[in-house]
Structure formats: C-alpha cells, structure tokens
Amino acid sequence: MPEHLSTIQLAAAAILTVAGVVWAIGVLRLLRRYRAQAIRELAAARLPFLPAQPGTGPLRESVELTPAEQDAFAGLIRQLGHG
C-alpha cells in the first residue's frame, strides 16, 4: 500500500475501477443487442427496385482431359510447385 494514499482514497479508486468495468460491460451488451436488431431489420427489409435473385448459381462445367493433357497438366503443376 503506497504511503502517501489513505485507505479511503484506495477504496475510492477500487470502487471507481469496478464501476468503470461494469459500465463498459453494460455499454458493450447494449451495442451488441442493438447491432443484432439492426442487422435483423436490414435483412428483413427488401429493396423494392431490385429484382429477386435466384437461389442457385450457374451449373458447373467440366471437360474430360485426354491422358496426354493430364500428363501435361501434371508437368505444369510440378514446374509451378518447384518455382
């Protein structure tokens, strides 16, 4: 305990520290609650001038490679892996 501070000053500092921590926790909880509420409201509100977007993307395309193309691709991957 520092010699130049009284017990009352130390107790007041401890009480103010605890009050500050409680206040900060309360503010953070309020901000989280209102931010979550704002996100829900924003998600619920649709922009009327935008058309509805489809739920799926385009179909995936694939091409079968010949054995020579597969070997060339494997060689390219080996070259890129070493450099």
- Give pLDDT, residue 36: 78
The DSSP-derived string for 26-80 is HHHHHHHHHHHHHHHHHHHPPPTTSPPPPSS-PPPP--PPPHHHHHHHHHHHHHH
- Give pLDDT, residue 22: 97
pLDDT, mean of residues 62-76: 93
pLDDT, mean of residues 8-14: 93
- Give pLDDT, residue 16: 97
- Write out pLDDT tens, residues 32-41: 888 877 777 7
User: If phi over 0 gives left and psi between -120 and 50 gives alpha, with beta otherwise, what is residue 57?
Assistant: beta
- Write out pLDDT tens, residues 74-83: 999 999 987 5
Other Cβ atoms closer than 10 A to 52? 6
Amino acid letter, residue 83: G
pLDDT, mean of residues 13-40: 90
